Amino acid sequence: MNSQRRRLLAAGIITAAGAVFGAVAFAQPKEKIIHVTARKWAFLPREIRLKKGVPVVLEFVTADVFMGFNAPDFNVRTDIIPGKVSRLRLVPDKTGTFVFLCDIFCGDGHEGMSGQIHVVA
C-alpha cells in the first residue's frame, strides 16, 4: 500500500471516529419516562415534579374505562384507553404549579380526577 493511500485511510478512520465521538458527546440525554395510572377516579401519582426545559414522556395506562389527560397550561392532552399505553411528550416551558385533569367523563367522581405538575428551574 503506498503512503498516499495510508494517509487517506488514516484520515478517513480519524474522521469517522470523530463523528461518532461527537455524536455521543453532544447527544441529548434520554427522556425520562414517568408512569401514570388512571383509575376511577384518580391519577397516580397525583403530583408530578419536572424541571423547566427538560423533556419527559408521560406513559398512561388504565384498566377501568376510557379517560383523558389534559394539562391546559402546556397545551397537551391525550386519550387513555383501557389495555393500551398512551404516550405524551412534554417539555415544560415555564415554572410553577399547574393543574392536570381528566377531560372525558368517566363516571361519578370524575369531577375530582385531577393532579398537579410542579415545574422548577
DSSP line for the chain? --HHHHHHHHHHHHHHHHHHHHHHHTPPPPPEEEEEEEETTEEESSEEEEETT--EEEEEE-SSS-EEEEEGGGTEEEEE-TTS-EEEEE---S-EEEEEE--S--STTGGG-EEEEEEE-
Read off the pTM. Answer: 0.75
Tens digits of pLDDT across the chain (121 residues): 576 766 666 556 666 555 655 555 466 668 999 999 999 889 999 999 999 999 999 999 999 899 999 999 999 999 999 999 999 999 999 999 999 999 999 888 888 899 999 999 9
Q: Given this model, what pLDDT does residue 110 score?
A: 84
CATH code, 32-120: 2.60.40.420
Domain ranges (residues) in the chain: 1-30, 32-120
